[in-house]
Amino acid sequence: MSKDRLVVIGGDAAGMSAASQARRQRSDLEIIAFERTPHTSYAACGIPYYVGDLIKAPDQLVARAPEVFREKQNIDARVNHEVIEIDLDTRRVKVINLDNSTESWEPFDKLLIATGASPIVPAVPGKDAAGIYTISSLESGLRCREALDREKPSKAVVIGGGYIGVEMAEALLLRGCEVTMIEMAPQVMPTLDRDMAEIVSQKMIGDGVVLALNEPLTGFDVDGDGRVRAVVTSDRTFETDFTILSIGIRPESGLAADCGITLGDRNAIRINERMETGIEGVWSAGDCAESKHLISGKPFWVALGTVANKHGRVAGINIAGGEAVFPGVVGTAITKFNDLEIARTGLQQREIEKLGMASVSAVIDSKTRARYYPDSAPIKVKLHAEKGNGKLLGAQITGGSGSGKRIDTAAVALHAGMTIGEIIDLDLSYAPPFSPVWDPVQISARVLLSKL
> Which residues participate in catalysis according to the annotation?
45
CA 124 distance to own-chain centroid: 25
How many of the other CB atoms lie within 10 Å of CB of 207? 15
Provide CB contacts within 8 A for 159, sequence distance 6+. Answer: 165, 181, 182, 217, 231, 243, 244, 245, 246, 247
Position 312: which residue type? G
Q: How far apart are CA 195 and CA 366, in angstroms?
A: 16
Provide CB contacts within 8 A for 118, sequence distance 6+. Answer: 136, 249, 250, 252
List, as one string, the DSSP characters of 85-109.
EEETTTTEEEEEETTTTEEEEEE-S
Contact 114, 67 (CB under 8 A): no
Q: How far apart are CA 368 and CA 381, in angstroms?
A: 11
Contact 243, 171 (CB under 8 A): no
**Phi, psi (5° rounding) for residue 112?**
-115, 125
DSSP state of 268: P
| b/e 161-177 (16+ beta carbons within 10 angstroms → b) | bbbbbbbbbbbbbebeb
DSSP state of 188: S
- Cα–Cα distance list, 335 to 46, 51, 311, 351, 411 (Å): 11, 16, 22, 21, 15
Position 318: which residue type? N
Contact 283, 108 (CB under 8 A): no
How many of the other CB atoms lie within 10 Å of CB of 348? 24
Q: What residues pair up with 293 in beta bridges, in sequence order?
A: 329
Return the closest-CA partner of residue 30 out of 12, 13, 14, 8. 8
Q: How far apart are CA 331 and CA 415, in angstroms?
A: 11
Return the closest-CA partner of residue 242 out of 89, 383, 131. 131
E strand or H helix at 155, and its extent?
Answer: strand 155-159
